[in-house]
Amino acid sequence: MSWHVEPTHLLAYVDGNVDHATAASIEAHVIACADCRGLLAPAVDRERLDRVWAEVVDTVDAPAVGVVERLLRRLGLRDADARLLAATPSLRLSWFAAVIGVLAFGVLAAHAGGNGDSAFLLVAPVVPVVGVAAAFGPGMDPAYEIAVAAPYRALRLLLARTVAVVASSLLLGGLATALTPISGWAAVAWLVPALAMTSVTLALATRWEPLHAAGAVTSAWFVLVLADARAAQSRAVVAEPGVQLAFVIAAAVALAVLAARRSTFETGSTR
């Protein structure tokens, strides 16, 4: 390119002492002319450019933010909380895929007739229990040791993850229920056992590893529902008011135990 901006005009442009037409013509030229760009470069403070560059590198180096974390930030969570929640093993997309797979079988079973309803009611409440158990503790959480050492209350982390896992599990469970032919009261009968078993698992986790606690609780649940499905040809006994009340009481007791023993989480000894 043979035409170039006069150096005096470039200086005036840098100082903001040119009219709009000149500025526009300089800007249009500079965009395409490496020589004139080079002349402009010294006009900007080197230290300032280096500072901005350091920030560019920081941002570029930061690990990519996953779908779950972006969603949580969109919901208004602070970045640190969003990161801690997104690191939850049972809030990963692969986990959700597995949950959807399990629930899909439950839905298919419910459509198959017979004791299919019971099969769905067997599976649906287990999802949040296992999810919560996998959300913390030395067995599953890859950031467990960091979390124990961090100046962040373990109970707060535990409860935040529990709420997130339970909410997402109930959402998926609810969607799955809508796809089954189960109607009326029985369709929501799994909610109370789900919450009760989650609470009991948390209470037991103050003493044992969360996954072991979840294993014990879900085993007990399987025995209860399968025995019932064998005995009664009618609706699952789980949906009966007396049984539901029993689950509510169990949940209350479990939450009381959890509140009393909450300090065990802070020391990291969930064994």
| Residue 205 · residue 133 · CB < 8 Å | yes
Among 11, 22, 102, 144, binds another protein (CB under 8 A): 22
Q: Tokens for 195?
A: 């919450």
The answer to whether residue 1 forms part of the interface with another protein (CB under 8 A) is no
Residues 24-83 that bind another protein (CB under 8 A): 24-25, 27-28, 30-32, 34, 37-38, 40-44, 48-49, 51-53, 55-57, 59-60
Q: Report in angstroms how near the CB of residue 18 gets to another protein at its nearest.
A: 7
Using CB under 8 A, pick the residue from 7, 17, 171, 266 that binds another protein. 17
Nearer to another protein, 3 or 233 (CB): 3
For another protein, give the closer residue by CB, 24 or 178. Answer: 24
DSSP-assigned states of every residue in 39-56: HHGGGS-HHHHHHHHHHH
Residue 261: count of CB within 10 angstroms of its CB: 14
Q: Are 137 and 163 in contact (CB under 8 A)?
A: no
Residue with Cβ nearer another protein (43 or 97): 43
Using the contact rule CB under 8 A, the part of the chain among 23-31, 169-177, 196-204, 221-229 near another protein is 23-31
- The amino acid sitting at 219 is S
Beta-carbon contacts of residue 32 (< 8 Å; ≥ 6 apart): 1
Name which position in 1, 2, 3, 19 contacts another protein (CB under 8 A): 19
Asked if 249 touches another protein (CB under 8 A), the answer is no
Q: Residue 18 or residue 216: which is nearer to another protein going by CB?
A: 18
The type of residue at 22 is: T
3-state DSSP assignment of residue 179: helix
Distance between CA atoms of residues 148 and 138, nearest Å: 10
d(CA 43, CA 37): 10
The rounded distance, in Å, linking the Cα atoms of 165 and 161 is 6
Q: Which is nearer to another protein, 32 or 149 (CB)?
A: 32
**Interacting residue ranges for another protein, rule: CB under 8 A:** 13-14, 16-25, 27-28, 30-32, 34, 37-38, 40-44, 48-49, 51-53, 55-57, 59-60
